[in-house]
Structure 1
Amino acid sequence: MTSPQHDSEPPHLPDVDLSAAHASVTLLDRLAEKLGGRASVTAVYGEPVTAGGVTVIPVAKVGFGFGGGAGREVGAAKTGDGGGGGGGAGAKPLGFIEIRDGVATYKPIRDPWSDVVLPLAALVIGGVMPKLLHALRRRRRT
């Protein structure tokens, strides 16, 4: 018969192969270091362009992320189980900086749908909302 476990004793944890965990962390560190140095606006959209006395410098939001796992050995037979990892990167153009006659101006790139859809939605809501409120008030009175 076993004695009951006391709250002050830590629970028994399985033996984890720390070298696999360390290898995963090392791999992720190396990937982040190498790709982080390359994840730039220049890598995505190219170098600034100068023509006719005007320089255009692209501006973008660039990001990347990684995840990983580790494994462990199970039992005396040295069979194991484990996990893997993955990652991804993305870039979104935000605008550009125009340098003309020594003056720099930031010009955002706007989404034409937001220029059309948002005002249209505001018009529809503004036109429908008073009628809807009026109908609700009338329904409450009866």
Structure 2
Amino acid sequence: MADTFSFLVEAMKNVGVSKAYGQPRQVGGEEVIPVALVSFGFGGGNDAEGGSSGGGGGGMVLPLGVYRDAGGHAVFRPNTIVMLACLVPVISVIGSAVRRSIRAARS
């Protein structure tokens, strides 16, 4: 169990802002800094009666866009496809709320 904990501690040292903001790159003659949404999780457990244990984890990275230099200040340029995909749940919830409001107003 101590080996597992020390492994997780070492893995967490690599997670942080450096994973959300990439190294500056030269693209088309201008410098851009990639930006991503980084999410991860892990868990574990054991069966007290059977003496077995287990665990697992996973992660996800969504490329949100880039920061680029525009006249001496940084400007964020979003990744349109990912932004639209992230808006689908929000639009769905808003649509459901509007529909329920209309139904309630009719009653």
Q: What's the TM-score, normalizing by structure 1?
A: 0.47
Supply the AA of the counterpart residue of 2:105.
P
In structure 2, the CA distance between the partners of 1:121 and 1:68, relative to structure 1 (3 Å rule), is closer
Distance 1:130 1:55, change over 3 A: same
> Which is strand-richer, 1 or 2?
2
Is 1:104 paired with 2:81?
no
Aligned partner of 1:125 in structure 2 is: 100
Alpha-carbon separation, structure 1, partners of 2:61 and 2:100: 30
Q: 2:27 aligns with which of 27, 51, 56?
A: 51
Q: 2:89 maps to what in 1? A: 114
8 Å Cα contact 2:25-2:32 kept in structure 1: yes
Unmatched tracts of structure 2, length 5 or more: none
Residue 46 of structure 2 contacts residue 54 of structure 2 at CA under 8 Å; is this kept in 1?
yes
2:19 and 2:90 map into 1 onto residues whose CA distance is 29
**Equivalents in 1 of 2:55, 2:24: separation in Å?**
32
Q: CA RMSD for the aligned pairs?
A: 3.8
Report the alpha carbon displacement of residue 131 of structure 1 after superposing the two structures with TM: 0.8
The DSSP-based 3-state class of the residue aligned with 1:82 is coil
* Partners of 2:51 and 2:27 in 1: CA distance: 55
CA distance in structure 1 between the partners assigned to 2:7 and 2:88 by the alignment: 37
Deviation at 1:47, TM superposition (A): 5.3
| Higher Cα Rg, which structure | 1
Count of residues in correspondence between the two structures: 99
User: What secondary structure sits across from 1:117 in the alignment?
Assistant: helix
What's the CA shift string for 1:2-52, capped at 9, x where partnerless?
xxxxxxxxxxxxxxxxxxxxxx1x1222221332244568779x7554313
Match of 1:95 among 64, 74, 97: 64
Quick one: structure 1 residues 116 and 82, their matched pair in 2 at CA, closer, same or farther if it must change by over 3 Å? closer
Identical amino acids, percent of aligned pairs = 15
